[in-house]
Structure 1
Amino acid sequence: MAAEAWESWQAAAPRRKRLAAQRQRRREAAAAPGRDPEEDRDSEEDRGVVLRRIREAGEDLLISDFWSSALETINSCLRKHLVQLKAPVGTLPEALGSLHLDLSPNESAVAPGSVPRDTLVPGSCHLRCVCYGIGNFATCVVARNQLTFLLLFLEKCQIPRSHCCVYDPLFSPLETAVLNSLGMAVLSENEEGKRSVCGEPTIFYMPHCGTALYNNLLWSNWSVDALSKTVIIGNSFTGLQERLLTRILQKNYVYVAKILNGLEELEFPQTSQYMDIFNDTSIHWFPVQKLEQLPPDTWAFREEPDYQDCKDLEIIRNKTGGLSAIDLNSL
């Protein structure tokens, strides 16, 4: 069963056609000035190795107790979130599927393994996913398992991979190529987490990211309407509150500090096999009732974080500077 679940990650073309296509690409590369066909072959082989390792990690994750428990935790949160969004009642994949709209005719070709167009029920908005800071999954086992979890999560919730934006400033060209081959949208600019949902329900997948990244994300969506459409899978906000001194939290990460009473958090299960990969990880959502009960002046403060006096900042800054909130629809 596990092997069947991952068949969609493999090339669909017959072997003969794949080999012919590879030969053609090598001939074209040989004709191009400055290109070494051996380099192209090596790159292709490297991608194959990384994809195989991801597939193997997925097979292990699928049969683990952690996966079933984590999925139950996510389902518990997303069901309540869908009620808030007034999504149609039904199973979780059906309800999530009803949020999709206007997939392009070649969507399944762009995102292999995603849900075919004819299985999605038209709805009023898209459900998107944004992944920040997953790390070098080609060489790091922790990062590879986190990526594997994301891919399985997208498949389980029927979110096409092309609806998932991915970014890490540390991505290598090989890793970018692998993500592209998986049908995911790799962002070209370091947004520092400053992405607005712009009315579209969005799940942000940010395991083990720096506190500033969460703070930037909250600032970019600092309203009842935007936060009510936001779900964050990442570091426990309760854990952040416990680890940081109150004065540091309120000075450097003011949006995290202000939202602590406006969210609900469910911790991921802890198992020995995945302890280092998903420790201190929770799923968070923002009930409208809780948001509306926050003091009125909560929403009046909208100053963009700058972190000039912040020591030990755990994010890589955008060197161009002056980056404001990114519109999710700008892709």
Structure 2
Amino acid sequence: MSDCGGEWQVARRRKGASRSSKSLQVSVAGGQEPLDVGKTVKRIRDTVSELRCEEFWHDWKQQLLVAASASVSKPPEDTDTKDRPVREGRSCQRLECVCYGLGPFSSCVASRYQLAMLLLLLDAGEIPLKDCSVYDPAFSSAEMDVLRELGLTVLTENEEGKRLANNPTFFYLMHCGKALYNNLLWKNWSTQCLPLMVIIGNSFSGMRERTTEKEFKRDYSYISKAVDFSVERKLPCPSRLIDVFNDSAVITFPSNSLNRLPQPTWTDPPEPLYQHSSDLEIILKETQS
């Protein structure tokens, strides 16, 4: 049954909290019009409601729940977890979320839809908004205020994707550069950390198809290795949103696949340097203004 008619709240206001922030206006750089935080939040909520009524959203939701269930608790080998909700496998551990690379969602329609999808996925996975950390060097100060108003946690440091998954973590990386994925894999390159990760973002196999073999293995070695042992489930995308959600997949790293690899696979993985990459598709800390 469709849940399109229900009211969806992105954040609950604390009792007694000021309501003035709903009409807060924040100036943005470049002499543009001030960004109305309240109106921007409403626009995002409207986009959430629109996506909630889309048929393809239910496939995204189900794929996240299946992947998250496996990451938070290893099921018995003879148990089919295909339709098990994530909450049933989450006894002591709760899924966290990290989102990189949303882009300027106040001015970019595609970024706004991607943010709305993130909020839907957080709701589906029962991940508290405060447990989702977001970062993009492209965010304006006004956009960071919008994200905080929604209830999300805004990171202030450019991690370059080098975030260690100490707990089960859902990484939302829509249309990010290959270097960011490669950095994330390097930081978690072990049989202990990789199974804790659920990635929704660009298809690894799609990256391989669009990159020369020499460049792929030399510059993005962790993706080139992971594409062979990760499990990738393509996500549907309607034609009208092809620029927003195309080439998206849920990517997981099952322990049984990792444990079959030779031990040297995991020994002293070198940090990526990208010395030969002219178009890195990522803003590094030292080049960030």
Query: Which segments of 5 or more consecutive residues in structure 1 lack a partner in the other structure?
Result: 26-39, 99-122, 322-331
C-alpha separation between the residues in 1 aligned to 2:189 and 2:149?
Answer: 34
Residue matched to 1:6: 8
Query: Of 233, 245, 254, which residue of structure 2 is paired with 1:278?
Result: 245
> What is the one-letter code of the residue matched to 1:208?
H
Contact in 2 for aligned 1:195/1:217 (Cα 8 Å): yes
Cα distance change on mapping 1:125 and 1:81 into 2, 3 Å: closer
More helix by share: 1
Residue matched to 1:144: 112
> What is the one-letter code of the residue matched to 2:276?
D
Residue matched to 1:290: 257
Contact in 2 for aligned 1:85/1:229 (Cα 8 Å): no
Residue matched to 1:42: 25
What is the CA distance between 1:65 and its match in structure 2?
1.2
User: Would you say how many aligned residue pairs link Structure 1 and Structure 2?
Assistant: 274
Residue matched to 1:134: 102
Encode CA deviations 1:88-146: one digit per residue, 9 max, x unaligned. Answer: 989524236x3xxxxxxxxxxxxxxxxxxxxxxxx433321000001011111100110
What is the CA distance between 1:299 and its match in structure 2?
1.0
> What is the one-letter code of the residue matched to 2:251?
H
Residue matched to 1:163: 131
Instruction: Report matched runs for 1:1-331 at 5 Å.
Output: 2=4, 4-9=6-11, 22=20, 41-43=24-26, 46-82=36-72, 84=74, 91-95=84-88, 98=90, 123-198=91-166, 200-319=167-286
Larger radius of gyration: 1
| Segment drifting more, 3-12 vs 174-183 | 3-12
Encode CA deviations 1:177-198: one digit per residue, 9 max, x unaligned. Answer: 0111111111111000001012
Encode CA deviations 1:19-76: one digit per residue, 9 max, x unaligned. Answer: xx63xx9xxxxxxxxxxxxxx9533970011111101101110111121122233234
What is the CA distance between 1:220 and its match in structure 2?
0.4
Cα RMSD (Å): 2.6
Identity over the aligned pairs, expressed in percent? 38
Contact in 1 for aligned 2:169/2:197 (Cα 8 Å): yes
Residue matched to 2:29: none
Contact in 2 for aligned 1:266/1:282 (Cα 8 Å): yes
Contact in 1 for aligned 2:72/2:168 (Cα 8 Å): no
C-alpha separation between the residues in 2 aligned to 1:4 and 1:256?
Answer: 40
